[in-house]
């Protein structure tokens, strides 16, 4: 059989690396073939999700940044400063989290999706046309966010004017001045050349980019037990591979950006400068409980317990 798998990034970006490893594992361990569709071949994130739900695609990688509209609980990943900055803790959390492995799958199942994995793609950084040292500098900045109500609330709390847009419109919107900022991990800022149209990079340490890989549920349920195992093993192998691939990626990406455009500023905010951003977390968390769907509270409570466990507490 041929399985179709679409993702939100290019072949040589993190989701593409994951997908290629998944394909390699599936094809080495079964007679199935995996056809990969990178960003731009089948539409935006919202389009590939629809295609996966309707069964045109068997697999899809869509980030909670877009799934939040479909599964309100997935917005939890946009409570600022919830995920740890420490990489070891972060990976441990993604590997062991009960919220991810037990509480989220039924919510995805309700939308016709088999949740296969979630994984991190790196520290999120702001890129803006003007330097940012604190919330006051975000005043009147139209800041592009993914189409996720809690991410909108979070940037409102940060003092910006959040502007939800699909990914394909971001470069042009920065270029023409419709927006003045956006956020993404360093590898993505580098590969998509965001620094060309917004040359100030700010590390507020407020989040790590989470993504999720799913299968069409009807398709997955119809697989033989052997094929289900092939899929699950391929996902596990791709997870490990992607974690290794990302080791040191943030720093090498920032280095490449500096080389490509020496006048880029890269500012790591001090603890003192981060304090007003951190102070918004409680209000954004309260907002999540309000708009995060019927399972918002159990998901948030479980996430916190999982994060404490990953931190060794």
Residues that bind ligand 6CS (CB under 6 A): 8-9, 45, 63, 121, 146, 167, 184-185, 188, 209
Q: CB-wise, 13 or 227, nearer to ligand 6CS? A: 13
Nearer to ligand 6CS, 38 or 159 (CB): 38
Structure tokens at 232: 């699950």
Helix (H, G, I), strand (E, B) or coil at 115: strand
Distance (Å) of CA 277 to CA 79, 194, 205, 231: 11, 23, 9, 40
Q: How far, CA to CA in Å, does 313 sit from each of 89, 306, 309? A: 11, 10, 5
Q: Closest CB to ligand 6CS among 80 and 185?
A: 185
Q: How far apart are CA 241 and CA 149, in angstroms?
A: 32
Distance in Å, CB of 63 to ligand 6CS, minimum = 6
Nearer to ligand 6CS, 122 or 292 (CB): 122
Residue 74 or 146 having the CB closest to ligand 6CS = 146
Q: Give min distance, CB of 154 to ligand 6CS, in A.
A: 14
Compute the least distance from the CB of residue 124 to ligand 6CS, in Å.
Answer: 9
Residue 21, token pair as written in the block: 């490893």
Could you give the CA distance from residue 108 to residue 74 in angstroms, rounded to a whole number?
A: 9
Least separation, in Å, of the C-beta of 168 and ligand 6CS?
9
In the complex, minimum distance from the CB of residue 171 to ligand 6CS, in angstroms, rounded to a whole number? 11
Dist CA 209 CA 203 (whole Å): 13
């Amino acid at each position: 059989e041929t399985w179709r798998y679409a993702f939100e990034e290019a072949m040589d970006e993190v989701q593409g690396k994951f997908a290629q490893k998944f394909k390699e594992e599936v094809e080495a361990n079964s007679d199935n073939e995996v056809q990969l569709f990178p960003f731009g071949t089948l539409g935006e994130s919202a389009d590939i999700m629809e295609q996966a739900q309707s069964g045109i695609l068997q697999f899809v990688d869509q980030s909670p940044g877009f799934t939040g509209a479909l599964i309100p609980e997935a917005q939890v990943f946009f409570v600022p400063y919830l995920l740890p900055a420490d990489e070891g803790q972060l990976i441990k959390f993604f590997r062991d989290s009960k919220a991810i492995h037990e509480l989220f799958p039924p919510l995805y199942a309700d939308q016709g999706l088999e949740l296969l994995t979630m994984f991190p793609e790196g520290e999120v950084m702001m890129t803006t046309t003007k330097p940012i040292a604190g919330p006051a500098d975000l005043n009147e900045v139209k800041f592009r966010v993914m189409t996720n109500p809690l991410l909108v609330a979070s940037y409102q709390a940060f003092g910006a004017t959040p502007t939800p847009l699909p990914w394909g419109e971001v470069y042009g919107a920065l270029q023409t001045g419709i927006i003045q900022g956006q956020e993404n991990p360093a590898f993505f800022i580098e590969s998509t050349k965001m620094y060309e149209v917004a040359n100030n990079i700010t590390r507020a340490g407020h989040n790590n980019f989470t993504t999720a890989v799913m299968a069409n549920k009807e398709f997955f349920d119809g697989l033989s037990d052997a094929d289900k195992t092939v899929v699950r093993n391929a996902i596990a192998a791709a997870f490990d591979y992607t974690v290794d691939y990302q080791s040191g990626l943030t720093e090498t990406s920032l280095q490449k950006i500096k080389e490509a455009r020496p006048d880029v500023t890269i500012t790591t905010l001090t603890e003192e400068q981060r304090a007003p951003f951190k102070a918004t977390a409680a209000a954004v968390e309260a907002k999540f409980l309000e708009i995060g769907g019927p399972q918002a509270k159990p998901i948030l409570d479980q996430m916190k317990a999982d994060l404490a466990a990953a931190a060794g507490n």
